[in-house]
Amino acid sequence: MKVLMSLGIAALICVAGFHMLTDSPEKLRVSQEPREASIEPRETDTKPAPPAVQPVHTAPEPSVFTVPVSVAEISGTRFLELVNGDHAVSGEPGAVVSAWPAVPVSTKEVTIHETALEAVSGLIAAAREKYDSTFYISSGYRDAATQRRVYNEAADKAMVQPPGHSEHHTGLAADIFIIGIGQHDMAGTSEARWLADNSWKHGLILRYPGSKREITGIANEPWHFRYIGQPHAWYCVQNNLCFEEYIQSLKSGGGYTAELDGKRYTVSYQVPENGLIYLPESGSYDISGDNTGGFIITAWE
């Protein structure tokens, strides 16, 4: 199956071939509040062009998914698991690797899921082509003990989840900062706007936009990106959905079809019946539980 952040005044930014000094936004994030400026996709030349896509609540052709499979036999990617205050992490992530030297990092200890690393690396490389700035990851994967420390030290609990409920525990989230732009100053910058507008191209979404706080339960975080893959990231941006809203739209409509980057995607949301879900008879596909009782099957050709 195809499965595609001072720690002191001198925090080390590790870049392949050289080292830099910078303030560490991860430490700042528990002691300073960012502006409540919303960093969200807007109407710019970087917003995704509207490929051929069926309406939000149009389910895919049922004939695509015809092969019954027991959920007990499924080992999916978990890329689309919803993790928030209501839904705890379902387990430890697999394939967590060092983020350095693939991307600049706050310390060499930063790790992240290998698929998310590939996506973040692509986003940072594209950002550096546009801006004469150094973008880096301050935090990726966090275990429960680290998240407990971050949560206990946080002055503003509106910007951090308790242990067991943090996306960082999935290994699929990354906090991306810019040298010379502090956490408090990041919101509203051109760089932050560009990241939000272009992250979808790499399968990433801005997870906590300010306008969605009532839904996500987390204040505006223009640095926090989550990997969910394609066409899901494109669909969220195209329809101005946060991840919670995306999952709900799949539950309500059953799925959708879309043509993107030369591929035709068919997305199906299924709740097991008698312990079974239905997969495509042929072609490439990926399976992920949504952590709320359903499964999302993404097929493409």
DSSP assignments along 272-291, one per residue: -BTTEEEEESSSEEEEEE-S
278 forms bridges with which residues in the sheet?
68
Nearest Cα to 168, choosing from 234, 218, 238, 100? 218
Q: 251 in helix, strand or coil?
A: helix
**Residue whose pair of structure tokens reads 């042929």 in the numeric block:** 282
The pLDDT value recorded for residue 156 is 85
- The answer to whether 235 and 265 have CB atoms below 8 angstroms apart is no
Q: The domain spanning residue 101 has which CATH number?
A: 3.30.1380.10
The pLDDT value recorded for residue 69 is 96
| Domain extent at residue 134 | 11-300
Q: Is residue 199, in this structure, part of any structural domain at all?
A: yes
Nearest Cα to 14, choosing from 96, 98, 103, 86? 103
| 19 backbone dihedrals φ, ψ, rounded to 5° | -125, 150
Query: Before 209, cis peptide (omega within 30)?
Result: no
Alpha helices, H only, 161-279: 183-186, 190-198, 213-216, 232-238, 243-253
Assigned token pair, 103:
């991307």
Q: Is residue 5, in this structure, part of any structural domain at all?
A: no
Tens-of-pLDDT digits for all 301 residues of the chain? 433 333 332 333 444 333 332 333 333 332 223 333 333 444 444 455 555 554 444 555 667 899 999 999 998 889 999 999 999 998 899 899 999 999 999 999 999 999 999 999 999 999 999 999 999 999 999 999 999 999 999 988 888 999 999 999 999 999 999 999 998 899 989 999 999 999 999 999 999 999 999 999 999 999 999 999 999 999 999 999 999 999 999 999 999 999 999 999 999 999 999 999 999 999 999 999 999 999 999 999 9
The pLDDT value recorded for residue 184 is 84
Residue 218 to residue 149: CA distance in whole angstroms: 18
Residue 77 to residue 289: CA distance in whole angstroms: 8
Catalytic residue among 167, 221, 245, 259: 221
Q: Is residue 6, in this structure, part of any structural domain at all?
A: no
| 293 backbone dihedrals φ, ψ, rounded to 5° | 115, -5
**Residue whose pair of structure tokens reads 């810019």 in the numeric block:** 178
Q: Is residue 247, in this structure, part of any structural domain at all?
A: yes
Residue 4 to residue 191: CA distance in whole angstroms: 28
Burial class (CB in 10 A: 0-12, 13-18, 19+), 59: middle
129 catalytic, yes or no?
Answer: no
Assigned token pair, 26:
């991860």
**Number of domains the chain is built from:** 1
Residues in the chain, total: 301
For 134-175, how does the pLDDT look when each residue is reduced to its tens digit (9 = 90+)? 999 999 999 999 999 999 999 888 889 999 999 999 999 999
The pLDDT value recorded for residue 276 is 97
Assigned token pair, 8:
């002191």
Q: Is residue 4, in this structure, part of any structural domain at all?
A: no
Q: Is residue 267, in this structure, part of any structural domain at all?
A: yes
**Residue whose pair of structure tokens reads 């490389």 in the numeric block:** 125
Q: Is residue 120, in this structure, part of any structural domain at all?
A: yes
For 98-110, how does the pLDDT look when each residue is reduced to its tens digit (9 = 90+)? 999 999 999 999 9
Q: To which H or E segment does residue 28 belong? A: helix 25-28
Question: Does the reported pTM lie above 0.75?
Answer: yes
The pLDDT value recorded for residue 59 is 53
Q: Is residue 1, in this structure, part of any structural domain at all?
A: no
